[in-house]
């Protein structure tokens, strides 16, 4: 049988493109999962590996979907080859169980790991550079400016929370938090005087 495996490393990423590619490849069954680097245990992948039998083919779209490190990839491929299971990486082709096939696989696995490491390094460098900017705020950018929030708080003097939400698009919960924060700021100001 031909089994496909699709994975992404964060819950925000989408599996759809990989699933479509595996469907085009006519996989009999496809396993998929989302996992993070912190959760290295890939339960669906382990189920698939345990299910594979002699003569089966494992299909993945890219090498970095197969393993997270060169060492991991080599251990998995060695186990699969010993069990006479074929491995097809769609952007590389079928990995041959020959000395040259294993060499090519090892080299490409090392490059894939190197590329992942470089992406992490560039991301960290970008964060460090951004943190030098006084306006830098880690996390999701604010949806509404301070001016918009202050205007909405002024509207609350003569309107209900729901009315202000309808007028401004700022949710009631955001307005409540902003009002509490404003009250706390005033209390701190009074104490400093």
Distance CA 120, CA 122 (A): 6
Query: What is the DSSP code string of the chain?
Result: -EEEEEEESSTTS--HHHHHHHHHTT-SEEEEEE--SS----HHHHHHHHH--TT-EEEESSGGGT-SSHHHHHHHHHHHHHTT-EEEETTTEEEPSSHHHHHHHHHHHHHHHHHHHHHHHHHHHHHHHHHTSTT---SSPPSS-HHHHHHHHHHTTTS-HHHHHHHH---HHHHHHHHHHHHHHHHHHHHH-
Catalytic residue among 9, 32, 69, 171: 9
| Residue 145 designated active-site | no
Token couple for 84:
């006479």
Task: Report, as residue numbers or ranges, the catalytic residues.
Answer: 9
């Amino acid at each position: 049988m031909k089994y496909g495996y699709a994975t992404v490393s964060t819950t925000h990423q989408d599996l759809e493109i990989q699933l479509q590619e595996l469907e085009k490849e006519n996989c009999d069954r496809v396993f998929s999962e989302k996992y993070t680097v912190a959760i290295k245990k890939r339960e669906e992948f382990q189920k698939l590996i345990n299910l594979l039998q002699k003569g089966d083919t494992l299909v993945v779209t890219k090498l970095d979907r197969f393993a997270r490190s060169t060492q991991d990839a080599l251990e998995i491929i060695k186990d699969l080859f010993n069990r006479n299971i074929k491995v097809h990486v769609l952007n590389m082709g079928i990995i041959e169980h020959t000395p040259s096939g294993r060499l090519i696989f090892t080299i490409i696995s090392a490059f894939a790991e190197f590329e992942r490491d470089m992406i992490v390094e560039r991301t960290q460098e970008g964060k460090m550079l951004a943190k030098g900017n006084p306006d830098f705020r880690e996390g999701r950018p604010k949806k509404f400016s301070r001016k918009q929030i202050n205007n909405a708080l002024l509207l609350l003097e003569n309107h209900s929370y729901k009315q202000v939400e309808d007028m401004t698009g700022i949710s009631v919960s955001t307005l409540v938090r902003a009002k509490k924060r404003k009250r706390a700021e005033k209390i701190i100001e009074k104490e400093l005087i």
